[in-house]
A and B are shown apart, each in its own frame.
Chain A
């Protein structure tokens, strides 16, 4: 099981990870976007850190919803509504729980993915964050239903996200600013898929080790 403290630790670590990768994500966003993804994610998660103490005693669903609402109002760009929706839907899906089972994680991430698809209208292979999140959620579900340990399942999810992220390199972008480049978007890794991979990687590193 993943405790509420572990969920809070995941969010705090994510803030550190996005801070450390601020330049990297922004650089990925320069050739095919508008060079702000790392800056925006960092600004949003720093704001999340400020908001967390006020909701720490609430249930996990409320905490995740607060993260989502904070991201919507601070990230801007496309990342704001997309990651905001990701966390809001994740929070709504697990509601008032105080700890999460492996099955809860599958439900939570699936709801988050559904929200991102609904908001951004992207499909698989459009060269977006959906390309990292979809395989991660599928790998997680498969591992959990075949009885893998939580650590193993999260490791598989992170690996699938990484593979999905790398698979965006040869893709032709069909959504977002990168799509304006047409053929020239080929050969660049999608920054959104990269920040999504970091989210699953951090989940594995935060939750996998203890379980």
Chain B
């Protein structure tokens, strides 16, 4: 294992210390239990938005705490759900009297821990709504699986709902909007290389030099199919077509196109992917009205990309454009 760390067991703690030192104007970091809140929390009268999940996906979620996005994030150990005590403290810290929305990615651990936290917060008199993000089309949604995983759409939902809360939407309206974003977003990812969880020290899976995994999860969970590597134009087709056909996105739809690096793939390749995606969208009559390109929901140092399409309406566009000031996403301020 070759990583710029000190001790594997200190990775999350030291990362959080770094965030605290780097962005004191935007966030406050608390330890034991660990959570990050925006510096001016709680904002009175505003719906608080809390998300969280395992670490290793930076900048998600801690990097999205700040004005116009999340009020708090709970980082777990690497690829491990955070615990209810973190979520409870974060929920209390951001409750400005208008209730708190939990944005939860659909993973068994995240669901159960957030469920326990919501029960505890409600027992303390805080109104909590939970919305589960499950946009990964690589996973068959059926009664016989844990359901689709939450991936790229999470970032978009956090931005759009954060703007809505900032504008004064009430809890029910923010939660409904979040469900609408989830219902209109679809994603799929692929990996060129594996990643190594620091505490484990060895790659999560093996991929030969000439192989790729289509439909990979953000924790290195195997995807739909392993195959020989292909040119970017073909790889993007393998990702975009299931995404487009699932919703389905139709000619005339306005979409946000999100090309995300899994951590190890450089921007030069992301633009090549975006170029291919734009061609496919054009051929299908989809109008890309917004885009996001970069590493936003990563899987440690994994090389690979995910693409997300979100069908946008005017309200979503306006909220997407609204000012945001977080360590990981910043415009209009």
Check if B221 sits within 8 Å of A82, measured CB to CB.
no
Check A177/B83 contact, CB under 8 A, given A26-B200, A34-B220, A76-B76: no
Most buried by B among A82, A174, A177, A180: A180
Selected contact of B221 from candidates A26, A34, A119, CB within 8 Å: A34
Q: Is the CB of B109 within 8 A of A80?
A: yes
Chain B residues with CB under 8 Å of A172's CB are 144
Does B149 make an interface contact (CB < 8 A)?
yes
| Chain A residue contacts of B144, Cβ below 8 A | 172, 174, 179
Q: Give the segment of A35-43, A100-108, A132-140, A153-161 that binds chain B.
A: A35-43
Contact A81 B139 (CB under 8 A): no
Contact check: which of A35, A73, A174 meets B33 at CB < 8 Å? Answer: A73
| Interface 0/1 of B187-206, CB less than 8 Å to A | 00000000001011000110
| Contact status A180-B200, CB under 8 Å | no
CB atoms of B145 and A77 under 8 A apart: no
Contact A82 B112 (CB under 8 A): yes
- Decide if B145 touches A174 in the complex (CB within 8 Å): yes
Which of chain A's residues has its CB closest to B82's CB?
A76
User: When A34-B219, A177-B108 are in contact, do A39 and B199 touch as well, CB less than 8 Å?
Assistant: yes
State whether the Cβ of B217 lies closer than 8 Å to any Cβ in chain A.
yes
Give chain B interface residues in 52-99, CB to chain A under 8 Å: 54, 76-85
Chain B residues touching A, majority SS: loop
B81 touches A78 (CB 8 A): yes
Determine which of B83, B146, B197 lies in contact with A80 in the assembled complex, contact meaning CB atoms within 8 Å. Answer: B83
Contacting pair A35 B200 (CB below 8 A)? yes
How distant is the Cα of A40 from the Cα of B200 in the complex, in angstroms? Answer: 11
Q: Within 8 Å of chain A (Cβ to Cβ): is B113?
A: yes
For residues 98 through 145 of chain A, which have their beta carbon under 8 Å from a beta carbon of chain B?
A: 119-120
B34-66 at interface with A (beta carbon < 8 Å): 54
Q: Is the CB of B146 within 8 A of A74?
A: no
Contact of B77 among A36, A181, A182 (CB under 8 A): A36
Which residues of chain B have C-beta atoms less than 8 A from A79's C-beta? 109
Query: Per-residue CB proximity of A168-182 to B under 8 Å, as 1/0?
Result: 000010111101111
Which residues from A are CB-within-8-Å of B140? 182
A180 touches B80 (CB 8 A): no
Across the interface, do A39 and B200 meet the contact criterion of CB distance under 8 Å? Answer: yes
A209 at the interface (CB under 8 A from B): no
Chain A 35-73 near chain B by CB (<8 Å), digits 1 or 0: 110011001000000000000000000000000000011
From A34, A36, A80, A175, give the contact of B113 (CB < 8 A). Answer: A80
Q: Pick the contact of B83 from A30, A36, A73, A182 — CB < 8 Å?
A: A73
Q: Does B222 have its Cβ within 8 Å of any Cβ on chain A?
A: yes
Q: Tally chain B residues at the interface, Cβ within 8 Å.
A: 35
CB of B307 to closest CB in A, whole Å: 19
Q: Which residues of A contact B80 (CB under 8 A)?
A: 34, 36, 39-40, 76-77
**B107 at the A interface (CB under 8 A):** yes
Chain B window 288-309, contacts with chain A (Cβ cutoff 8 Å), 1 for yes, 0 for no: 0000000000000000000000
- A34 CA / B220 CA spacing, docked (Å): 7
When C-beta atoms are compared, the residue in chain B nearest to A175 turns out to be B146
Residues of B14-50 at the interface with A, using a CB-CB cut-off of 8 Å, are: 33
Which chain B residues in 110-137 approach chain A with CB under 8 Å?
112-113, 115-116
Q: Which residue of B lies closest to A33 (CB)?
A: B221
Return the contact of A76 from the options B113, B145, B146, B149 (Cβ within 8 A).
B113
Q: Do A72 and B81 touch across chains, with their CB atoms under 8 A apart? A: no
Asked whether any CB of chain B lies closer than 8 Å to the CB of A75, the reply is yes
**Which residue of A34, A73, A179 is within 8 Å of B146 (Cβ)?**
A179
B205 contacts which chain A residues (CB < 8 A)?
Answer: 30-31
A35-B197, A180-B221 known; A75 vs B204 contact (CB < 8 Å): no
How far apart are A117's CB and chain B's nearest CB, in angstroms? 12
- When distances are taken between beta carbons in the complex, the residues of chain B under 8 Å from A35 are 79, 197, 200, 204, 220
Chain B residues with CB under 8 Å of A80's CB are 81, 83, 109, 112-113
Please state if A76 and B81 are interface contacts (CB–CB under 8 Å): yes
Structural contact, B145 and A81, CB atoms closer than 8 A: no
- CB B264 to nearest CB in A, in angstroms, measures 18
Pick from B77, B107, B112, B200: contact of A177, CB under 8 Å: B107
Residues of chain A with a CB closer than 8 A to B200's CB? 26, 30, 35-36, 39
Contacts A177-B146, A177-B221, A180-B221 supplied; 19 other A-B pairs, CB < 8 Å: A30-B200, A30-B204, A34-B204, A34-B221, A36-B197, A40-B80, A73-B84, A75-B83, A76-B77, A76-B80, A76-B109, A77-B80, A79-B109, A81-B112, A81-B115, A177-B217, A179-B144, A180-B145, A181-B222
Chain B residues engaging chain A, CB cutoff 8 angstroms: 33, 54, 76-85, 107-109, 112-113, 115-116, 139-140, 144-146, 149, 197, 199-200, 204-205, 217, 219-222
